[in-house]
Amino acid sequence: MAPLALALLAWGELEHWRASRRRLGPGTTARGTSEAVVVLGYRNRGNRINAVNRWRVRAGLRSLDGAGARLVLSGGPAAGGRPEAELMAAHARGKHRYHGPLSLETESHSTWENVRNVIPLLGDVDRIKIVSHSLHAEKARAYLWRQRPDLATRLVRAQDYRPGEWLLAKPALALLGRRNLRRLEADRHRT
């Protein structure tokens, strides 16, 4: 049983590592100094930030590179009364004392909408990073390629993948993420 569990954990880790490196722009180290780090919200049910959104804010903050970086928090009131973006902003400013540039997108209820609604905030940046768990971030990058391929060429890796982080959850997240990516590809081939 232990070898099977270890193999499952290793598979989950590998899937996340691979997903963090897919669907990036052609020169994944785009030139220029400005960047937007887009953090996708996750189904916050109340007026307190949930554990997933707290982690995504941390991953977004560690993805910021330099003075030309702007944090873009995306998420509407998908499962609660207050927009996820507002909860994440309060967490970034309060708990992490982030005082850099910050933009909020507070209307989206799905990953497609997250991407669509942040597009107006991305036109002036040289690099775009999307932060979520790796397979979800890959899905959002795929949506950006569909909606605005000119902006998608600016996609670079975020720092949302770290070995061992969320280790026990990674196999389940990988299964869910792979299923969603397969559906996304099937939909693309149908249209």
Domain annotation covers residue 10: no
Does 9 reside within a domain? Answer: no
pTM of the model: 0.92
Given a cut of 90, is residue 67 above it in pLDDT? no
Distance between CA 129 and CA 152 in Å, rounded?
10
163: which 2 tokens? 């070995």
The predicted model gives 127-133 an average pLDDT of 96
Percent of the chain with pLDDT over 90: 75
Would residue 14 count as lying in a domain?
no
Closest to 46 (Cα-Cα) out of 13, 10, 79: 79
Does residue 13 lie in a domain region?
Answer: no
- For range 4-32, the mean pLDDT: 87
Q: What is the pLDDT of residue 86?
A: 97
**Above 70 in pLDDT, residue 190?**
no
For residue 33, the enclosing domain spans 22-190
pLDDT confidence of residue 89: 98
Structurally, the chain folds into a number of domains equal to: 1
CATH value at residue 105: 3.40.50
CA atoms within 13 A on the CB side of 179: 6
> Tell me, what's the pLDDT at 29?
55
35 is a domain residue = yes
Give mean pLDDT, residues 77-106: 94
Please tell me the predicted confidence (pLDDT) of residue 68: 83
